[in-house]
Structure 1
């Protein structure tokens, strides 16, 4: 799971919606436009130049309409921008911007673009059409009134953004003063979110009670921290070296004061609302099928994450079929591990046998570091380009760990100076597995999320929306595909690690069953957890965290398997068509070279490369 703007993947679906002034229908791809209000001298732009101009304008408007994304990218976000969060005004501006952008894009003929821009045009249009569907009034009536929940919600993302790192910029005294000013506006922002929640209370559209209970626990964990050790005080523990002692002292005092007087009271007010007003009226059923209009919303969210129109019933059956296939392979590996009994009994054995579990956080961390060193040595055999950003390995902060999966990735900075971070979960060690060390690192770290996200954002030849944006099917599909490289790299010659990757593959297959079960078949949380425990060796803590995540983020879990199956199918096509000319490094270059693509765009690109003979640099 890439922690890439995860607070906007939840129910609020604050998708990036940018814009550009609409053009007259009479203007075509070689339209006459005026630049910088020049006196009266028209400049004729080519289709390529028009598209580039559209992208540049789009980036500027995007930063104004996406305060959290701008913070993540190290932009300086004003208090006025920050204070727009969760307001109808921001939703309206995004909707209008999206409409203007699509109108401008319609004036550009893709046939007049060069090959790389043709790809960018297709990605851009797909993204904007997807946003348009999610911005429809009937959809917003369901999503805007659920502004965030426990899975990557704003209330837990804001402390991380405020702590520095993860791409944020705190380089000057002015940066620190702006951070403090934003902190003072947090009460207002939370108040606006509460107003949205109340709209949902009035219309009967609420979060499941489960997600509200989890949010309350998360807030309690944050408020339990001493102010001087809270993430909001982290910037005062890591000042730039050129700050004077006077600046350090003043900023430290003001950060302490704003945390005490503004931030903590804002969190306490949010908690009070959730406990006293919101929780009593929330729905007990976890799935979208319990919400009026939920069936249509689920299909839209599935398309949002997978970029494909899917029939939930077909997806459910695909998952069931995959579960049976993977269990057959598991049966053989369990015998290599010295167990002759039935698979269900081995699931119980692996949960309880100490040899499959870390004895300490240090042992778990060292396992990941060992895999990382081997991947570093082997990567040039599989990739032409490697990320500039280093990759760090660390455990989750204690206040987050209980609600997180086994691992995740937080991207580094676009210039490669700040590292990406592979987070692993050391909470409840008896439920963590040594068997999953290799496959989890390959997915969340290298060559999974770290390679894909870093290579995209470090590629300045791409438009920003390709560098920093993306879709779940591509991002998570690549990471799941990256797990399969462990076979070629030799990691799964060890039955322990082979079991681990099958167990992780089983997880992605079960997601197809459980996500559709929860949101289209009326499954309960308990039914979903029981299914996962019955068909895999995962621990109960992991199973509960996974199910709670699917409840909070409908449709996202489908994208892993859908994306991976697409990439695996395209690789098989390339190997079959190219024969001895197939070069794994060139194939990976094609898949990764244009940023995160919708599945149809990726498929078309790779097939053009195959038709051209699989040569280096083609349409990169």
Structure 2
């Protein structure tokens, strides 16, 4: 998932009345607001939410890998725009408080819960001035724009939008630099250790010059054959002028700022608690990414409990393969034996494609409704790969990191593929976007606890589906499960409980089969992005509890395809709605949301 979309559109707090959760409707029916005139409270809520959401989308640029709607122009990140966002979300929060959820229709109550959580998270981020820290360990505002250069343009209008984006870079970069200077002045930056080498992507743009080798010129190298030659020539000329006059100056200025000011003077501490008003800031991130008001200590304890449970299963696999040695020796074997690693980047991509296609063959056994959208499998771009995760997925894309092949184990690739491609992100996200019965803020606004929880649930689902063909594949899945449970321990440890970076790395090294390179990049990701790592296991646990509840209540009437459809029909919702929807599923006798489909 992209940091751009997550930061701006995610986050649901559960500081709402329990009655909201208990009122979950049966989604097999058309939404009440579409079937009959809304009541007065519904109408007030719809008017408020639709106007604000349209305004919110207009505030943001659309980057190529987010899959989100947005303005084709770069957003205004200046002080007046930031003040306007704060005022708008404060006014929206006040207006929401003036609507009694009990007076809303059942559909609108769920929408209210989702929407209010988004406003709570957006308002908190604005009050803490998150915009003064517009980067994490592997994402950045300049990286989001660079993703446009890797897009596939087919129409003149797309090229025009791209040209407008490049021409706006000087203004946009100046605003971002000013915000980062303000953050630097008050000690609100990513930790310095996570910024090492982050100037590489900017330097590549500068070094590319204004010629055909410039990364931002990539879309113009090969243009559609259907485009008239005169128009193509004019667009190419405009692109070279924009690169010379706007792109290169903006990147030179940013590069000097990063190298001379920002990176050398970034905060030394790795703890969110050491940021300005750090304890409150980190608690706000827990609320945003866990969709519950929990303390770091509570989350930490859940992580330790999950690690104990998963470790017992990992020990069982080690005995199954009759390994002679202790757990540490087994991990060393997995990290170093050549049989577990691809020899070329293409081999790794080919294996990922094989696993993705293998799921296609069994998808209809586990899901009644499949997305219309397809996805591509591509390597992580070279400028990002050294800092990037093993893979990342979303609408239309499954990125596989082919950098440092000895750190990319094949036994973990099946689990990674289920998480990032289908039935994980590249499956769930299109289903949400294609569900036109939901308001846009539930289709498009990524909620990490739901989205990452679902993707991690899909990794474990692979065991039910018979997807893991060897004990080592199963251990890879368990190692990934332990990795996400360890995030609950490590993230809270670093940001609230005094853990060092080395201590966090050691914990992952001793309890998962992740390579040392992956461990380093992962820990730096948690350090630079407080709270986000908590969403995975907490979301997965919600899905697992709900499914177990339905299986127990329905017995032989439980239909896994119908339950999966019911979960994916929700769009993006806070975790209690998963249980509430499951309760409704049970009350309906296990009937799924698409009764016209066979098997549901």
Query: What TM-score do you get using the length of structure 2 for normalisation?
Result: 0.89
Higher relative contact order, structure no. (Cα contacts within 8 Å, ≥ 6 residues apart): 2
Partner of 1:535: 511
- Secondary structure at the aligned position of 2:411 is classed as helix
CA distance in 1 between partners of 2:149 and 2:404 (Å): 28
Partner of 1:571: 547
Partner of 1:454: 430
Q: Deviations over 1:435-485 (max 9, x none)?
A: 011101000010011121010001112111111113111000000001111
Within a 5 Å distance, the mapping from 1:258-407 to structure 2 comes to 258-407=242-391
Is residue 188 from structure 1 mapped to residue 188 from structure 2 by the alignment?
no
CA contact 1:517–1:523 (8 Å) conserved in 2:
yes
2:120 to 129, 132, 135: 129
CA distance in 2 between partners of 1:557 and 1:194 (Å): 27
Shift of residue 106 of structure 1?
Answer: 4.4
Q: Which moved more, 1:182-191 or 1:346-355?
A: 182-191
Q: Deviations over 1:27-74 (max 9, x none)?
A: xxxxxxxxxxxxxxxx99644444444443234212222234799557
Aligned CA distance change for structure 1 residues 406 and 469 (closer, same or farther; 3 Å): same
Q: Which moved more, 1:101-110 or 1:305-314?
A: 101-110
CA distance in 1 between partners of 2:318 and 2:477 (Å): 13
Partner of 1:92: 83
2:465 to 471, 489, 502: 489
1:159 to 141, 146, 157: 146
Aligned CA distance change for structure 1 residues 452 and 76 (closer, same or farther; 3 Å): closer
CA contact 2:394–2:429 (8 Å) conserved in 1:
no
Within a 5 Å distance, the mapping from 1:105-124 to structure 2 comes to 105-106=96-97, 108-124=99-115
CA distance in 2 between partners of 1:444 and 1:330 (Å): 23
Is residue 255 from structure 1 mapped to residue 239 from structure 2 by the alignment?
yes
CA distance in 2 between partners of 1:127 and 1:51 (Å): 14
CA contact 1:529–1:543 (8 Å) conserved in 2:
yes
Structure 2: gaps (5+ residues): 12-36
Partner of 1:32: none
CA distance in 2 between partners of 1:300 and 1:609 (Å): 32
Aligned CA distance change for structure 1 residues 287 and 365 (closer, same or farther; 3 Å): same
CA contact 2:419–2:458 (8 Å) conserved in 1:
yes
- Secondary structure at the aligned position of 2:376 is classed as strand
Partner of 1:62: 56
Shift of residue 544 of structure 1?
Answer: 0.8
Q: Deviations over 1:320-366 (max 9, x none)?
A: 23223222211221233341210101111111110111112222122
Q: Deviations over 1:548-602 (max 9, x none)?
A: 1101111000110000001100000111111121111111122111201111222
CA contact 2:208–2:215 (8 Å) conserved in 1:
no
Aligned CA distance change for structure 1 residues 285 and 103 (closer, same or farther; 3 Å): closer
Shift of residue 281 of structure 1?
Answer: 2.3
CA distance in 1 between partners of 2:269 and 2:5 (Å): 23
CA contact 2:64–2:147 (8 Å) conserved in 1:
no
Is residue 501 from structure 1 mapped to residue 492 from structure 2 by the alignment?
no
Shift of residue 174 of structure 1?
Answer: 4.1
Aligned CA distance change for structure 1 residues 121 and 424 (closer, same or farther; 3 Å): same
CA distance in 2 between partners of 1:110 and 1:397 (Å): 46
- Secondary structure at the aligned position of 2:468 is classed as helix
Q: Deviations over 1:156-179 (max 9, x none)?
A: 1111034425xxxx5543442342
Q: Deviations over 1:258-281 (max 9, x none)?
A: 223321231121111121122332
Q: Which moved more, 1:487-496 or 1:610-619?
A: 610-619
Within a 5 Å distance, the mapping from 1:390-429 to structure 2 comes to 390-411=374-395, 420-429=396-405
Partner of 2:575: 599
Shift of residue 542 of structure 1?
Answer: 0.6
Aligned CA distance change for structure 1 residues 181 and 321 (closer, same or farther; 3 Å): same
Partner of 1:203: 186
CA contact 1:344–1:534 (8 Å) conserved in 2:
yes
Partner of 1:469: 445
Aligned CA distance change for structure 1 residues 612 and 290 (closer, same or farther; 3 Å): same
CA distance in 2 between partners of 1:332 and 1:16 (Å): 38
Q: Deviations over 1:359-414 (max 9, x none)?
A: 12222122222212221111111111101011221211111111111110132xxx
CA distance in 2 between partners of 1:380 and 1:542 (Å): 34
CA distance in 1 between partners of 2:81 and 2:10 (Å): 11
Partner of 1:173: 156
Aligned CA distance change for structure 1 residues 601 and 70 (closer, same or farther; 3 Å): farther
CA distance in 2 between partners of 1:230 and 1:135 (Å): 35
2:132 to 127, 134, 145: 145
Shift of residue 498 of structure 1?
Answer: 0.5
Shift of residue 521 of structure 1?
Answer: 2.1
Query: What TM-score do you get using the length of structure 1 for normalisation?
Result: 0.86
Aligned CA distance change for structure 1 residues 259 and 291 (closer, same or farther; 3 Å): same
Aligned CA distance change for structure 1 residues 397 and 181 (closer, same or farther; 3 Å): same
Within a 5 Å distance, the mapping from 1:504-523 to structure 2 comes to 504-523=480-499
CA contact 1:384–1:589 (8 Å) conserved in 2:
yes
Aligned CA distance change for structure 1 residues 93 and 67 (closer, same or farther; 3 Å): farther
Structure 1: gaps (5+ residues): 18-42, 412-419
Partner of 1:29: none
- Secondary structure at the aligned position of 1:408 is classed as strand
CA distance in 1 between partners of 2:312 and 2:64 (Å): 47
CA contact 2:415–2:462 (8 Å) conserved in 1:
yes
CA contact 2:493–2:499 (8 Å) conserved in 1:
yes
Q: CA RMSD in A?
A: 2.5
Partner of 1:28: none
Partner of 1:430: 406
CA contact 2:379–2:401 (8 Å) conserved in 1:
yes
Aligned length: 570
Q: Which moved more, 1:535-544 or 1:318-327?
A: 318-327
CA distance in 2 between partners of 1:405 and 1:69 (Å): 19
2:197 to 191, 214, 218: 214
- Secondary structure at the aligned position of 2:138 is classed as coil
CA distance in 2 between partners of 1:56 and 1:343 (Å): 54
Aligned CA distance change for structure 1 residues 362 and 15 (closer, same or farther; 3 Å): closer
